Amino acid sequence: MTPDAVSKADEPPVPVRRLLTLAIAGFAALLTVGMIFGAQTAGPGSARVPYAVVIFGVQLLFILSWTMAMRPPAARVIVAVCVVVAVAADLAAVWPKVATLAPLGYAAVGGFVVGVVAQLIRRADRLRVTESLGTTLVIVVGVVSYATLIVLTRLPSGAQAITVCLAATGVSLVVARLVDVVAPWPRLAPQVPRGAIGVVAGAMVGTLASALLGVYVLPFSPASGAIVGLVAASAAVMADLGAGYAEAGRQMAGDPPTMWIARHMQGPLGGFALGAPVAYVMSVMFLVP
């Protein structure tokens, strides 16, 4: 073991900043309320545009926070490309006469290709081509994932699926962070200010919330709501936790820390980026005849 590794192992655990953790929980709660209530007010045709605007705002937050955190080569190019992809995906979700995910897939592939080509043109960026491929793919797919919620509002019972899935997602993220405020243990890693109790409790309470909603939200049942909630809540808390591990890994590698607001928004936004396609898949599995 090298002296640097020994010194890092001897470092005290990163402290849990309780007020900041509470603020992150509040941010996740605001995202939950905004995307669920926006879906309930989305109407046919152009009446979906206000919800698309809400989703576009969340997409911008996702682009900025994840780009700042992952620091891809030609970051400004990636931001510009992803903003265009977000607009294209949202329009493709609103305007076609038939609700389908195919145009969103085209937007994702086109954005990925343009982003990679733009980075390969520059000599300095070609030296980090492997890193740029992975980073560009993650951000583009995350942006397009949010647009699946707009498509889902066009399907029968799609708004109900959004309610159940995003409620499970939001509750799991909020509960996990609130538990970290009072009981951030046992620590999963000294460099990550998260506790195992919060992660497990978040997934369990998110599943419970969706099961309870299954009693009142048709055509779900408590059993189908619990299954949907288990998948959505588990994916969300793991994405949130993974963002914390990724940031700790970058700092241990000697990279400067990410801008604090982007660093703490990254986890909840990543959780909802996974929750959105889960909502679509679960609606197809449980609601489509």
At 30-40, the pLDDT tens digits run 999 999 999 99
The confidence score (pLDDT) of residue 265 equals 94
Query: Residue 262: is its pLDDT beyond 50?
Result: yes
Domain boundary among 152, 170, 200: 152
Same domain assignment for residues 98 and 144: yes
The confidence score (pLDDT) of residue 1 equals 45
Partner residues linked to 211 by β-bridges: none
Q: Examine residue 258 and state whether it is found in any structural domain, yes or no.
A: yes
Same domain assignment for residues 161 and 57: no
Report the predicted TM-score, pTM, of the whole model to 2 decimal places: 0.92
Quote the number of domains for the chain: 2
Closest CA to 195 of 182, 210, 205, 204: 182
Same domain assignment for residues 224 and 166: yes
Same domain assignment for residues 176 and 207: yes
Q: What whole-number percentage of the chain has pLDDT above 70?
A: 92
User: Are 125 and 250 contacting, i.e. CB atoms less than 8 angstroms apart?
Assistant: no
**pLDDT band at residue 157 under the 50/70/90 scheme:** confident
More confident residue, 32 or 41: 32
User: Are 56 and 140 contacting, i.e. CB atoms less than 8 angstroms apart?
Assistant: no
Q: Examine residue 2 and state whether it is found in any structural domain, yes or no.
A: no
The confidence score (pLDDT) of residue 214 equals 93
Domain range enclosing 225: 28-41+157-289
